[in-house]
C-alpha cells in the first residue's frame, strides 16, 4: 500500500496558508526595506556621545531607535516565516540569515545607548522628562534600564557582546535545521496496516492511536532516530547552555537562571516555588498514572501509553472548519469584541493551517508591529489540535490588543505572561465543552483531555524546567554535559515525576534531545506558571462576567508597560505566591476525583 506523502508547499491551497503578503507583497518589497534599513542603521551613530546634550537629542535618538527596530522586526519576521513554510528552501534560508545578520548590525550600532544613558548624572533623565513631555512615554523603559544598571557593561564590551550575539544563535540554528529539515523518521504500519511515515506533526496523533502496537512502533521509531544522533545533539545542547552561562557570567549575574528571569523582573523564587509545589502534588500524578493503567486495562503502563485517550470519543475526527466553530463557542464569555477579532483572524488568513514537506514543526503565533499577528499550525483532526488553535489564537489576540494600545517600545509583552492568554482560552473552551455534555462517556473523554492538559503543561513543563535547572547548574559547576549524563538526568526525572506505576522505557531518556524550547533557556517554566494563572483568570471570568473580562483586557492591552507580575495583579492574580499553582493543582485533583467516579459507570 502506498505511503501517505506530505504535500509540497506549492501544492497547498492558498486558502489554507497565511496571508504573508500582508507583511510584504513579495521578496522585492522585502529587499527594498532590507536595503533601506541597511542604509539607515549608521544614522544611529550620529547620536553617539551626545545623549546628555538635552531632552530633544535623547528623544530624537529614541524615535530613530524605535523606527529602526520596528523595520528590523518586519524584515526578520517575513524572512523567518517564509523559511518556516519550507525549511528546505535555500532562498529563504538565505533571507533569514541575512535578516539575522542585519539585526546584529543594528544591535552593534545601538550598543552605546544603554551604557551612555546609564553614565548620565543622577537625576538627568528625570530632568529631561520634565523638560520634554514627549519623552514621558519612555519613563518605564528608562526605569527598567536603570534597574539593571549593574548588569550593563561599558560601550566596548556591549558592542562585543552584540557581535557575539550572532554566534550565540548557532546551536539553536543547528538544532532547528537538523530537527525540521534533515531528520527523517521511519515508516511504520498504521492502524489499518497501511504504511505511515512518522513525522513531527503525526507523532502525537500516532501516540493517541487505540492500537497499542502503533503507539509502540511510533515511539520506538522516533526515539530510535534521535538515539542515532545522541552525541551530536548533546554537543548542540551543551553549546547552547554554554552560551547562556557565558552571557550570564559576563553580565555579572549569579546564574543564567537569574539572568533569564531578570529582564522580566521575576524573582528566582517564583521558579523554585513552582517546582516545590509540583513536587508536593506528585502523589496525585502517581494516582493519575494508576488510574490510566486501570482504564486502559493493561498490566503494565508504558511511556507510549500516556497520550492515548483513556476513553474513546464517538467523534474523533474534527475538521478545521468545525474546530473554528468550537473555539468561537467556547470563548463566548470573552464578549463580542473578542469573538469578532477571532472571526477576523479566521477569515483573513492569519493562520497557516496544515503540515507540508519541510514546514517547521509545532505551532506558534508571531508577527510584526503594524501588521496583524500570524499563527502557524500543523493541524491534525483531533481535539488536541482544536485546543492548539484556541491556544495560538490567544497569543495572537494578546498581540493584537497590545499592539493596538501600546507604542512600539511597550508593545512586546514579556515571555512570563505570554502563555497566560493562550492557556486562558483553553481553560474557557474546556469549561464550555464540559458544560455542553452530561453524557458520562463524553464527559469522561473531556475530563481525560483536561487532566492531560495538567499532565503535559503543569507537570511535564515543570519537569522540563527542573531538567534545565539541573543541567545548566551542572555546566556552571564545570561538569561536562555528555549524552550519557543528560540521558541519566532526564530518565531519573521521569521516574520521580511518574512514580512506580509505569514502566519508564529506556527510549524516554532521549526526550530532552527533541525539545525546541530548550534552545530558549528557562522558557518552559512559564507554560506551567501561565497555566496556573490562566486557571485562576478563567475562573474569575466565568464567575464575575463582564467586570472580570474588562480587567483581563487591561492585562492584554498592557504589553510591557508594566512588569509582568504587576500586570497579572491588575487582572487579579499574584504569581509571587504559591497559591495560584496550588489552586490549579487542586482543580486537577477535583477532576481526578470525578474521573475515578465515572470509571465505575457502565457507559464509560
- Own/partner pairs, 110-113, CB within 8 angstroms, 24+ separation: 110/44, 110/65, 110/68, 110/162, 111/155, 111/158, 111/159, 111/161, 111/162, 112/45, 112/48, 112/49, 112/155, 112/158, 112/159, 113/51, 113/61, 113/65
Asked, for residue 183, whether it belongs to a domain, the answer is no
* Cβ-contact 226, 203 below 8 angstroms: no
What is the edge-to-edge ordering of all strands in the sheet holding 374-376?
Answer: 351-352, 374-376, 364-366
Task: Give me the pLDDT at residue 297, please.
Answer: 94
Asked, for residue 161, whether it belongs to a domain, the answer is yes
Percent of the chain with pLDDT over 70: 98
Residue from 265, 256, 165 nearest 521 by CA:
256
* Cβ-contact 333, 542 below 8 angstroms: yes
CA distances from residue 407 to 269, 410, 415, 561 in whole angstroms, order as listed: 31, 6, 18, 9
| pLDDT of 581 higher than 80 | yes
Task: Give me the pLDDT at residue 449, please.
Answer: 86
Asked, for residue 75, whether it belongs to a domain, the answer is yes
Asked, for residue 41, whether it belongs to a domain, the answer is yes
Number of H helices, E strands in the chain: 26, 5
| pLDDT of 247 higher than 70 | yes
Give Cα 192 to chain centroid, integer Å. 35
Task: Give me the pLDDT at residue 3, please.
Answer: 52
User: Which structural domain range is residue 148 located in?
Assistant: 9-168
CATH number at 104 reads 1.20.140.70
Residue from 353, 325, 164 nearest 243 by CA:
164
Number of domains in the chain: 1
Asked, for residue 226, whether it belongs to a domain, the answer is no
pTM: 0.81
* Cβ-contact 512, 490 below 8 angstroms: yes
The one-character DSSP state at 186 is: P
Cell numbers at 321, concatenated: 472548519
Task: Give me the pLDDT at residue 438, please.
Answer: 83
Task: Give me the pLDDT at residue 1, please.
Answer: 41
The predicted-structure confidence for 263-298, as pLDDT tens digits, reads as follows: 889 999 999 999 999 999 999 999 999 999 999 999
What is the band of 158 on the pLDDT scale with cuts at 50, 70, 90? Answer: confident
Asked, for residue 48, whether it belongs to a domain, the answer is yes
392 given a catalytic annotation: yes
* Cβ-contact 324, 390 below 8 angstroms: no
Residue range 505-522: average pLDDT? 96
CA distances from residue 59 to 9, 40, 155 in whole angstroms, order as listed: 45, 17, 20
Q: Which of 85, 108, 392, 452 is catalytic?
A: 392
Beta bridge partners of 376: 352, 364
Bridge pairing between strands 187-189 and 195-197: antiparallel
Q: How far apart are the C-alpha atoms of 377 and 392, rounded to whole Å?
A: 9
Contact partners, residue 223, CB within 8 Å, separation at least 6: 507, 508, 510, 511
Q: How far apart are the C-alpha atoms of 401 and 390, rounded to whole Å?
A: 16
Q: Look-up: residue for cell 505511503?
A: 3
Asked, for residue 541, whether it belongs to a domain, the answer is no
CA distances from residue 270 to 46, 235, 576 in whole angstroms, order as listed: 42, 30, 6
Asked, for residue 33, whether it belongs to a domain, the answer is yes
The predicted-structure confidence for 308-364, as pLDDT tens digits, reads as follows: 989 876 566 899 999 999 999 999 999 999 999 999 999 999 999 999 999 998 899
Q: How far apart are the C-alpha atoms of 152 and 130, rounded to whole Å?
A: 26
Percent of the chain with pLDDT over 90: 85
Q: Look-up: residue for cell 497559591?
A: 579
| pLDDT of 604 higher than 80 | no
The predicted-structure confidence for 110-157, as pLDDT tens digits, reads as follows: 999 998 999 999 899 999 999 999 999 999 999 989 888 888 888 888
Bridge pairing between strands 374-376 and 364-366: antiparallel
Q: How far apart are the C-alpha atoms of 278 and 455, rounded to whole Å?
A: 11
Amino acid at each position: 500500500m502506498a505511503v501517505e506523502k506530505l504535500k509540497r508547499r506549492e501544492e497547498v491551497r492558498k486558502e489554507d496558508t497565511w496571508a504573508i503578503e500582508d507583511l510584504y507583497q513579495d521578496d522585492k518589497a522585502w529587499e527594498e526595506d532590507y536595503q533601506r534599513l541597511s542604509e539607515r542603521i549608521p544614522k544611529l551613530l550620529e547620536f553617539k556621545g551626545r545623549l546628555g546634550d538635552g531632552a530633544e537629542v535623547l528623544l530624537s535618538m529614541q524615535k530613530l531607535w524605535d523606527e529602526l527596530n520596528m523595520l528590523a522586526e518586519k524584515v526578520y519576521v517575513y524572512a523567518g516565516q517564509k523559511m518556516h513554510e519550507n525549511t528546505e528552501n535555500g532562498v529563504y534560508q538565505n533571507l533569514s540569515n541575512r535578516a539575522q545578520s542585519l539585526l546584529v548590525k543594528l544591535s552593534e550600532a545601538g550598543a552605546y545607548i544603554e551604557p551612555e544613558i546609564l553614565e548620565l548624572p543622577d537625576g538627568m533623565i528625570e530632568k529631561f522628562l520634565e523638560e520634554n513631555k514627549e519623552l514621558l512615554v519612555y519613563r518605564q523603559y528608562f526605569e527598567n534600564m536603570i534597574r539593571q544598571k549593574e548588569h550593563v557593561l561599558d560601550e566596548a564590551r556591549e558592542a562585543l557582546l552584540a557581535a557575539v550575539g550572532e554566534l550565540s544563535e548557532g546551536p539553536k540554528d543547528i538544532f532547528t535545521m537538523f530537527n525540521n529539515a534533515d531528520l527523517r523518521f521511519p515508516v511504520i504500519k498504521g492502524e489499518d496496516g497501511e504504511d505511515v511515515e512518522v513525522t513531527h506533526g503525526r507523532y502525537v496523533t500516532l501516540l493517541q492511536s487505540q492500537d497499542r502496537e502503533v503507539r509502540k512502533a511510533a515511539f520506538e521509531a522516533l526515539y530510535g532516530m534521535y538515539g542515532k544522533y545522541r552525541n551530536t545533539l548533546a554537543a548542540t545542547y551543551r553549546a547552547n547552555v554554554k552560551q547562556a552561562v557565558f552571557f550570564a557570567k559576563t553580565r555579572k549575574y549569579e546564574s543564567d537562571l537569574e539572568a533569564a528571569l531578570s529582564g522580566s523582573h521575576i524573582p528566582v523564587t517564583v521558579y523554585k516555588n513552582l517546582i516545590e509545589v509540583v513536587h508536593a502534588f506528585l502523589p496525585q500524578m502517581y494516582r493519575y498514572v494508576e488510574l490510566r493503567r486501570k482504564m486502559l486495562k493493561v498490566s503494565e503502563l508504558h511511556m507510549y501509553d500516556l497520550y492515548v485517550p483513556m476513553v474513546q470519543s464517538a467523534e474523533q475526527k474534527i475538521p478545521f472548519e468545525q474546530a473554528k466553530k468550537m473555539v468561537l463557542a467556547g470563548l463566548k464569555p470573552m464578549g463580542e469584541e473578542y469573538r469578532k477579532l477571532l472571526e477576523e483572524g479566521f477569515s483573513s488568513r492569519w493562520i497557516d493551517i496544515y503540515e507540508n514537506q519541510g514546514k517547521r514543526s509545532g505551532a506558534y503565533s508571531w508577527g510584526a508591529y503594524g501588521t496583524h499577528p500570524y499563527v502557524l499550525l500543523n493541524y491534525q483532526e483531533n481535539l488536541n489540535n482544536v485546543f492548539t488553535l484556541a491556544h495560538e489564537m490567544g497569543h495572537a489576540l494578546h498581540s493584537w490588543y497590545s499592539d493596538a494600545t501600546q507604542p512600539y517600545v511597550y508593545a512586546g509583552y514579556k515571555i512570563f505572561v505570554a502563555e497566560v492568554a493562550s492557556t486562558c482560552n483553553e481553560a474557557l473552551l474546556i469549561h464550555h465543552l464540559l458544560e455542553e455534555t452530561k453524557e458520562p462517556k463524553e464527559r469522561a473523554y473531556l475530563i481525560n483531555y483536561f487532566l492531560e492538559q495538567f499532565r503535559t503543561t503543569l507537570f511535564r513543563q515543570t519537569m522540563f524546567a527542573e531538567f534545565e535547572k539541573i543541567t545548566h547548574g551542572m555546566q556552571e559547576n564545570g561538569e561536562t554535559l555528555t549524552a550519557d549524563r543528560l540521558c541519566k538526568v532526564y530518565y531519573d526525572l521521569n521516574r520521580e515525576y511518574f512514580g512506580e506505576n509505569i514502566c519508564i522505557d529506556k527510549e524516554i531518556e532521549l526526550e530532552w534531545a527533541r525539545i525546541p524550547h530548550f534552545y530558549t533557556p528557562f522558557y518552559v517554566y512559564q507554560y506551567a506558571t501561565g497555566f496556573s494563572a490562566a486557571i485562576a483568570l478563567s475562573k474569575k471570568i466565568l464567575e464575575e462576567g463582564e467586570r472580570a473580562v474588562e480587567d483581563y483586557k487591561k492585562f492584554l492591552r498592557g504589553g510591557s508597560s508594566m512588569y509582568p507580575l504587576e500586570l497579572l495583579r491588575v487582572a487579579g492574580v499574584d504569581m509571587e505566591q504559591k497559591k495560584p499553582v496550588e489552586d490549579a493543582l487542586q482543580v486537577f485533583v477535583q477532576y481526578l476525583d470525578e474521573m475515578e467516579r465515572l470509571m465505575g459507570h457502565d457507559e464509560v
